[in-house]
């Protein structure tokens, strides 16, 4: 298989990109950090990405133990995760994602930006499933590289959000968000189908 599985990397990276939606975080990040100095915004960008990476890593490392403790099977997780992702996809397609208001007493880079907006249920489910499916060092390395790469992209997107928003305009963000919703809905249906197939195969 080689040292690195590019297919596994690409599959998880695209899935996380669609779920975590870096372009869609731009207006939310700007709204949550408005009125702050540029250096504070830059600090919040890496703090949010780091918090999200920490949450995702914890679930990636201990997700199996959590599932075993709760007696939850992979097919059940696939079906529930698929339904959850479909709900997120519908929100993206209809533009019903709520934008949290700014809170002065809380570091918004930690909550709600780092979690649950970035490291939300959808991303957590996707990572747990990817780690469970990874076989061999090549696929495991690809999974963790995809996770790290995705959070680097998130950090860069927030770090340069002021520049990006001037380039693609608000209409560009809306367009990319809608396309992300379409792709995410397809991924969700595939997850549900795989879960149903897993149930049938288990009880044959």
DSSP string over 9-45: HHHHHHHHHHHH-HHHHHHHHHHHTTTS-HHHHHHHH
**121 lies in a domain?**
yes
**21 lies in a domain?**
no
pLDDT at 106 over 80: no
**33 lies in a domain?**
no
The closest of 109, 117, 105 to 20, measured between CA atoms, is 117
The pLDDT value recorded for residue 86 is 86
pLDDT, mean over the chain: 86
pLDDT band, very low/low/confident/very high, at 190 (cuts 50, 70, 90): confident
**58 lies in a domain?**
yes
Comparing 54-68, 78-92, 97-111, 113-127, which segment has the lowest mean pLDDT? 97-111
How far apart are alpha carbons 168 and 186 in whole angstroms? 25
**92 lies in a domain?**
yes
pLDDT at 62 over 80: yes
* Stated pTM of the model: 0.79
| Domain limits for position 121 | 6-16+38-98+106-198
**122 lies in a domain?**
yes
The percentage of the chain sitting over the pLDDT mark of 70, rounded to a whole number, equals 94
The pLDDT value recorded for residue 48 is 95
Number of separate domains in the chain: 1
pLDDT at 95 over 80: no
Asked whether the beta carbons of 124 and 55 are under 8 A apart, the reply is yes
**203 lies in a domain?**
no
**143 lies in a domain?**
yes
């Amino acid at each position: 298989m080689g040292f690195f599985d590019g297919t596994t990397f690409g599959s998880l990276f695209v899935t996380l990109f669609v779920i975590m939606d870096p372009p869609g975080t731009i207006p939310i990040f700007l709204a949550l950090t408005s009125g702050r100095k540029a250096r504070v915004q830059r600090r919040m960008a890496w703090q949010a990405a780091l918090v999200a990476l920490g949450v995702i890593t914890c679930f990636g490392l201990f997700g199996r133990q959590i599932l075993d403790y709760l007696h939850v099977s992979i097919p059940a997780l696939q079906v529930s995760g698929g339904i959850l992702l479909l709900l997120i996809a519908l929100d993206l397609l209809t533009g019903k994602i709520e934008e949290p208001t700014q809170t002065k007493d809380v570091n918004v880079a930690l909550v709600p930006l780092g979690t649950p907006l970035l490291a939300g249920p959808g991303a957590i489910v996707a990572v747990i499933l990817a780690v469970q499916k990874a076989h061999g060092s090549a696929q495991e390395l690809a999974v963790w590289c995809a996770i790290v790469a995705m959070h680097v992209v998130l950090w860069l997107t927030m770090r340069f959000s002021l520049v990006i928003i001037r380039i693609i305009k608000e209409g560009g963000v809306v367009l990319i968000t809608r396309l992300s919703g379409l792709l995410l809905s397809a991924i969700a249906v595939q997850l549900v189908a795989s879960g149903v197939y897993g149930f049938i195969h288990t009880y044959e």
